[in-house]
Chains A and B, each alone.
Chain A
Amino acid sequence: MKRIIVNEKWCLGCRLCEYNCAFANSGSIGTTPLDMAKALKDIVINPRIKIEEKDDICFAVSCRHCKEPLCVKSCITGALTRVDGVIRINKEKCVECHTCVLVCPYGAIMPSDEGVMQKCELCVQNTGGEPFCVKGCPNKAIEFKELGGDSV
């Protein structure tokens, strides 16, 4: 199972990951030419990955896709599930009760602009390829790596 690894030593705080996340989830992927500036023009982005920053420390936080996911166990609707190691959200079922916000130890689930919750789904729900935050990170502070072990 490939995982997103965050290494704060290499993070520049450039926030490209936030913009790439918003772009990947903007519905513009698949259209040509790929133009982030056009897709995000006049939009206040609401990304699923967020930079924490203080003084000279910065790092990106997104869903860790926990093996014992408190959000999935606590979800009152059954909207959150763990499928092939990726924690997915069914936006049809979500009622925005915020129980996932109550339990996520990383603070990695937040309301979307559509009135239900959103979270990182490793870009499997949009491009099906490599997560865009990883692809666009200029300093390899976010990597998508196979670490072995857990395959479920």
Chain B
Amino acid sequence: MKYVIIGNSAAAIGCIEGIRSVDSQGSITVISKETQHTYSRPLISYLLLGKTDSERMKYRSDNFYEENNCTVMFGTEVTKISPDKKEVLLDNGKSVKYDKLLVATGSNPFVPPIEGVSTAKSVHTFMSLDDALALEKDLTPDSRVIILGGGLIGLKCAEGILKSVKKITVIDMADRILPSILDSEGSSIIQKHLESKGIEFLLGNSISKVDGQRAILKSGDIIEFDSLVIAVGVRANTALVAEAGGTVNRGIYTDLSCKTSLHDIYSAGDCSESYDITIGQPRVLALLPNAYMQGEVAGVNMAGGDMLYDHAIPMNAIGFFGLHVISAGSYEGECYTVAEGNNYKKLFYNDNNLFGYILIGEVARAGIYTALIREKTPLDSIDFELIKDKPQLMAFTKKDRAALLIKEALPDNWQ
């Protein structure tokens, strides 16, 4: 069996580990646009912060490819997939045959057209290790930085570079930050926290024109800057599959086995959609844990195993200067809210299920909440008042708790 993987990040690594859990013999070829050993993309802000370094941010050990008997083609891009010939064409003119193919092409930063942006001397996106290193090179203690976009990527970038620069201004069209993971009260807590660290926000605003080192805003204000970071969002890299005739929506369509609409072609990670059980619809869940788990499921199935990616939910853990935010699920239904200073808790529930939650500050044991969403645990089977108070196993019945606490200790064939 000949496996080919396009991409070299979390989904690709999950796929390799998935394949090798079933098939130790088949050949695996990884085709990577980037030149580095597999690394963790979310760590680029920690790299600039000095909390990790290029060695420690490797997602797997140096001998990973060797141990898993993989051939890696670094710095090589796939230009076309030919499903009829079962081969991929490379930018060096060569082609590679496959029996099973994984498309894990990730996403790219979306760069909106801004008049005059080419007149600025330092404009960056913040997605890859190369992006982070290029930005770092331009920064000095006197740098005034504009970050366009108050989402996860823009704000982690802000945290990463704050101590290295003079001033950071975050501009976003929306009237609040982190709308993908927070409600408006939560946004406001994090914004105040970031402001207390010295980050400035201009919300409900945008850049209408750039003139050298001056940004002219929609509001008419003019801001002088040295570097501009564009972090308004990402777009799934779907072109290869679309051009090969595969079904593409906002991301590459995949079924629960992580297979695309094309024969023997699978997809995982930020480029693909998975089925979000909290809304009952497919969507792109561009988060590292999801990428790994999708990749693993794809790998197992590519190798002839049987595994479904049927518990996908949006979920996120992020922190800024020591203040942690953990959230999961979808924010609909009835709410239970507790707010006290920087500690914020909101549970969203309906009928008999927990749909989502947001925790800021006090985030201990949040995974107990996540499991209630992922497993669709009926709320009438637990003590909901106890769970509202804090995540705890005490809320389960004695029987369920015994099963829970002993489950992982039992052999697979235990009845």
Q: Which residues of A contact B (CB under 8 A)?
A: 3-6, 8, 52-54, 57, 59, 61, 64-67, 70, 73-74, 76-78, 92-93, 95-107, 109-110, 145, 147-150
Contact = CB atoms under 8 A, between A and B. Distances in A.
| Best-buried of A3, A95, A150 by chain B (most CB within 10 Å) | A95
Taking chain B's interface residues, is the majority helix, strand, or loop, or is none over half, making it mixed?
A: mixed
Contact of A102 (B14, B59, B328): B328
Interface stretch (B38-46, B125-133, B217-225): B38-46
Given A54-B394, A104-B367, A97 B408 contact: no
Contact of B368 (A66, A98, A107, A148): A107
Nearest to B405: A6
Contacts of A93: 52, 56
A59 B46 contact: no
B391 A4 contact: no
Contacts of B366: 98, 101-102, 107
A61 B40 contact: no
B326 A59 contact: no
A110 B363 CA distance: 10
A102 to B, nearest CB: 4
Contact of A76 (B56, B289, B367, B405): B289
B180 interface: no
Given A4-B409, A102-B366, A103-B370, A52 B393 contact: yes
A57 B398 CA distance: 9
| Best-buried of A3, A98, A102, A109 by chain B (most CB within 10 Å) | A102
Contact of A149 (B59, B370, B407, B411): B411
B319 interface: yes
A88 to B, nearest CB: 13
Nearest to B408: A64
The 10 closest A-B pairs by CB, nearest first: A149-B411, A107-B365, A74-B289, A3-B409, A105-B371, A64-B408, A104-B367, A102-B317, A98-B317, A99-B317
Interface of B: 10, 14, 40, 42-43, 46, 51-52, 56-61, 288-289, 292-293, 296, 315-319, 324, 326, 328, 363-368, 370-371, 386, 391-394, 398, 401-402, 404-414
A148 B411 contact: yes
B345 to A, nearest CB: 14
A76 B370 contact: no
Contacts of A150: 411-412
Contacts of A4: 409
A8 B409 contact: no
Contacts of B60: 78
Nearest to B390: A107
B363 A59 contact: no
Contacts of B326: 98, 101-102
Given A6-B405, A52-B393, A98-B317, A149 B58 contact: no
Contacts of A52: 392-394
Contacts of A96: 319
Contacts of A59: 393, 401, 405
Nearest to A60: B405
Contact of A78 (B59, B401, B408): B59
Contact of B316 (A8, A102, A109, A145): A102
A149 B394 contact: no
B68 to A, nearest CB: 14
Contacts of B410: 147, 149
Contacts of B371: 105
Contacts of A92: 56
A64 B289 contact: no
A100 B324 CA distance: 13
Given A67-B408, A78-B60, A57 B394 contact: yes
Nearest to B315: A102
Given A8-B405, A66-B408, 7 more contacts: A54-B394, A57-B394, A98-B326, A101-B366, A106-B405, A107-B367, A148-B411
Contacts of A107: 364-368, 391-393
A77 B317 contact: no
